[in-house]
Structure 1
Amino acid sequence: MRPDPQAGIGAVAGLVPLAYAIVPCEVRQGPAGTDTRNYVVRDTEDRRWFVKVYRPGTDVAAEQRALEASEFAGRAGVPVARVQRTLSGGLVASRGGLSLSVSVYIEEAQTAEGGLRGERWPVVGEVVGRLHRGLARHPAGSPRLVPAAQVVDVSVARQTLHELIARYEARPPRTGFAQWALEAAHERLAALPGLAAMLEALPQQMTAQVVHGDLSTPNLLLRQGRVAAVIDFRPPGLRSPVWELGRLASDPRTVLGNPSWPDEPARSVSAYRAANPTLSDADLRAVVRVAAGYLGCSVYPLAEPLDDPAAVSPSLETYGYARHQTVAVLREHLEEAEEVLRDVLA
């Protein structure tokens, strides 16, 4: 059963004054979140706040670490949505089974999920470079070299795809999208040997460090041609910064039907290197190859009809089809993309 929006509004209006001394005069639903219900609060001083309400069962301690990572990035000069601390100094307020966090509402901003084009590329590349340079100093762990197989693990993907197909066979698909997801899973499994061969050209070792963890176009807020805020950090963990940069370069809305791809992402990589010269050129030249490998190994959103049927909306279906198509486009244009990257990094 879906939560009652009015009940959620009432719960937020009740907890926010107690935990933050913010007196709401208006509470409305905000943009939909993947794992949260979001609200926008306007207070009696006409300030607006963004409120994230966590689902029951959420690891609140992990969410606090994610908010701390956002604060850490902000201190490093990265534009973020400033988190409002509770009256007791915490980052998450909880009462009666309700847990939420509050941050400053970023006015007059829009997400980048419509795709990256033109001058957005170097602007985003520069900010992501600053982000990774700042997070490299995070106390959760210093940057280190790891085998390339840890950046894109084909063996794990093979096991996951086998398990997903077995689950579908035990519960035959009942919708068109679920049927397509099963067919796509078979296609990805069959393509894994070729994908593994493609990944052999990666550097033997690549850099891993603390990264954002979920850096994608919906988590970049833009305003007047600039990045207004990087939002929705995940708890600190060591992953490849190239993997994270590649998630933006391989965004389906950006790649498909864009005649300027892959020239434009190369501008982003160039701006990234200027902001974060500590990451090796060998790593940066692998951005598109890592992105193709990551997408080819991913089961999202193929597993959604089984894991969370309610989440399968027309927009998610469209995104799933586009994401699957993007894998083929990245592999088809891989040599061209890497030649462009070699030129900008020369």
Structure 2
Amino acid sequence: MQEESAGDEEVWAKVLCECYGVDLAHTGPVLIGTETLSRRVRLSDGRRVLVRQYRAMADLERIRAAWEMSELCRVARVPVPRAWRSWDGEVLTSFADAAWVVSEEALGRVVTEPMTVARAQHIGLMLGRMHRALVACPPPAHGRPARWHTADAESAAACSELLLIRAAAQHNLRLDQLNAQLDQRRRDLRTHVPRLRAGLPGDLVAHAAHGDFTRTNLLAQEDLITAILGFHGEVCVLAWELGRAAFDPRTVANSPSWMRFALRLIGAYRAENPGLPLADLRACARIALLDLLFSFDGATTGGHRRFVRTDADARQRWAECQITIRRLLASLDDLESALVAVGRGS
């Protein structure tokens, strides 16, 4: 929703003045999110904020729950930008046939390189602290779809055929390579999904969680996480969210030390959230692998999703996921033994 026609500067100035009692001095667009038109705003008193305008079709109750959840995490010392409340006391306020949120500007940048030990540890600490804080959150109305747990492997294999047809229609120059990769994915889905699922705990812990705790929603300065963005306001399996963070494809595919970084992240998580059962902790690598097997993000160009913004990003994302799947498959037994040791503090 990054279109200037979604609202002019006069409307933005009126929102800030009439709903928050502050005056706009300057605005600039910023590319974050798929549901919002967002602008960085400098106020007349010199303060800087981020203003989000939500599209009319957005699920406002879900968005409100996500912002209230983020505020609960902020109070628990998780680095989340503070959302302002309007004169009516609302985080999500209505004005000019739209919904708006104003939050403090977050410092830092989205990190594009693989993790370091220090950054992995800080990510794990913040995720563990967040999960521990959100135990007290009323369960959101929405649950995160768990395709990795419930989707039919044959249907996912059939989806890969449709992707190949789309790639051919796009005159994809790497069609032969993509054909080989999708053929491998079909074999992986049919061969590995049943045994991977058979090794999952029967009752995985799920409660309110971020819902998209990935590299693209984390801002950092050096090795410190300075802001966590993009709460979805969903019930999630905690081991799924932990596994996605620990086995980030950017790191697994590009760093020879990926396993060490993942174990450091999970160890730090365990220190902050010791209540996650050992069986769930052990399963997080298996769940991350299943999640990747059912994901086709980046396989074709166009229609980019949350991880990618350009065709080059899509190709990189897809290539990194292929490498990550192979490395997790090859190392899963060793990983799960190491995770048990981490869980027991040994």
Post-superposition Cα deviations, 1:19-76, rounded to whole Å, max 9, x if no partner, equal 2222111101224433333211011111110122323422222211111111122233
Distance 1:150 1:92, change over 3 A: closer
Distance 1:97 1:335, change over 3 A: same
Distance 1:136 1:175, change over 3 A: farther
Distance 1:166 1:6, change over 3 A: closer
State the one-letter code of the partner of 1:162. A
Q: Which residue of 2 aligns with 1:52?
A: 52
Distance in 1, matches of 2:161 and 2:169, equals: 11
Q: Which residue of 2 aligns with 1:146?
A: none
Contact between 1:50 and 1:102, CA under 8 Å: does it hold in 2?
A: yes
Q: Which residue of 2 aligns with 1:251?
A: 248
Distance in 2, matches of 1:224 and 1:338, equals: 30
Q: Which residue of 1 aligns with 2:326?
A: 328
State the one-letter code of the partner of 1:90. E
- Give the deviation of 1:172 after TM superposition: 5.4
SS of aligned partner of 2:205: strand
Q: 1:236 aligned to 211, 234, 237, which one?
A: 234
State the one-letter code of the partner of 1:293. L
Distance in 2, matches of 1:121 and 1:218, equals: 15
Post-superposition Cα deviations, 1:118-169, rounded to whole Å, max 9, x if no partner, equal 211111111111100111121117xxxxxxx968325345435535644765
Q: Which residue of 2 aligns with 1:159?
A: 155
Distance in 1, matches of 2:174 and 2:12, equals: 36
Distance 1:8 1:304, change over 3 A: farther
SS of aligned partner of 2:322: helix
Contact between 2:206 and 2:238, CA under 8 Å: does it hold in 1?
A: yes
- 2:169 matched to 1:173? yes
Post-superposition Cα deviations, 1:195-248, rounded to whole Å, max 9, x if no partner, equal 2213322223321121111100121222353322221100232x2111001111
State the one-letter code of the partner of 1:287. C
- 2:295 matched to 1:298? yes
State the one-letter code of the partner of 1:66. A
Correspondence 1:1-346 to 2 at 5 A: 3-4=3-4, 8-9=8-9, 11-107=11-107, 109-140=108-139, 152-153=148-149, 155-156=151-152, 158-163=154-159, 165-166=161-162, 169=165, 173-176=169-172, 179=175, 184-196=181-193, 197-223=195-221, 225-237=223-235, 239-302=236-299, 305=302, 312-346=310-344
Distance in 2, matches of 1:304 and 1:58, equals: 25
Contact between 1:27 and 1:42, CA under 8 Å: does it hold in 2?
A: yes
Contact between 1:40 and 1:50, CA under 8 Å: does it hold in 2?
A: yes
Distance in 1, matches of 2:192 and 2:158, equals: 16
Distance in 2, matches of 1:84 and 1:213, equals: 22
Distance 1:103 1:72, change over 3 A: same
- Give the deviation of 1:273 after TM superposition: 1.0
User: Any gaps of 5 or more consecutive residues in structure 1?
Assistant: 142-148
Distance 1:17 1:153, change over 3 A: same
Distance 1:183 1:259, change over 3 A: closer
SS of aligned partner of 2:191: helix
Q: Which residue of 2 aligns with 1:145?
A: none
Provide TM-score, normalisation by structure 1: 0.85
Distance in 2, matches of 1:61 and 1:33, equals: 17
- Give the deviation of 1:323 after TM superposition: 2.1
SS of aligned partner of 2:204: strand
Distance in 2, matches of 1:13 and 1:292, equals: 47
Distance in 2, matches of 1:135 and 1:336, equals: 31
Contact between 1:112 and 1:219, CA under 8 Å: does it hold in 2?
A: no
Provide TM-score, normalisation by structure 2: 0.85
Distance in 1, matches of 2:130 and 2:110, equals: 18
Distance 1:52 1:175, change over 3 A: farther
Post-superposition Cα deviations, 1:76-101, rounded to whole Å, max 9, x if no partner, equal 33221111112222222333444331
- Count, aligned residues: 336
State the one-letter code of the partner of 1:198. L
Post-superposition Cα deviations, 1:253-282, rounded to whole Å, max 9, x if no partner, equal 111121112012111111111111111112
Contact between 1:129 and 1:271, CA under 8 Å: does it hold in 2?
A: yes
Q: Mean Cα displacement is larger for which, 192-201 or 44-53?
A: 192-201
- Give the deviation of 1:318 after TM superposition: 1.9
Contact between 2:139 and 2:208, CA under 8 Å: does it hold in 1?
A: yes
Q: Mean Cα displacement is larger for which, 263-272 or 314-323?
A: 314-323
SS of aligned partner of 2:52: strand
SS of aligned partner of 2:72: helix
SS of aligned partner of 1:53: strand
- Give the deviation of 1:289 after TM superposition: 1.2
SS of aligned partner of 2:227: strand
Distance in 2, matches of 1:164 and 1:314, equals: 20
RMSD: 3.0
- Give the deviation of 1:335 after TM superposition: 2.4
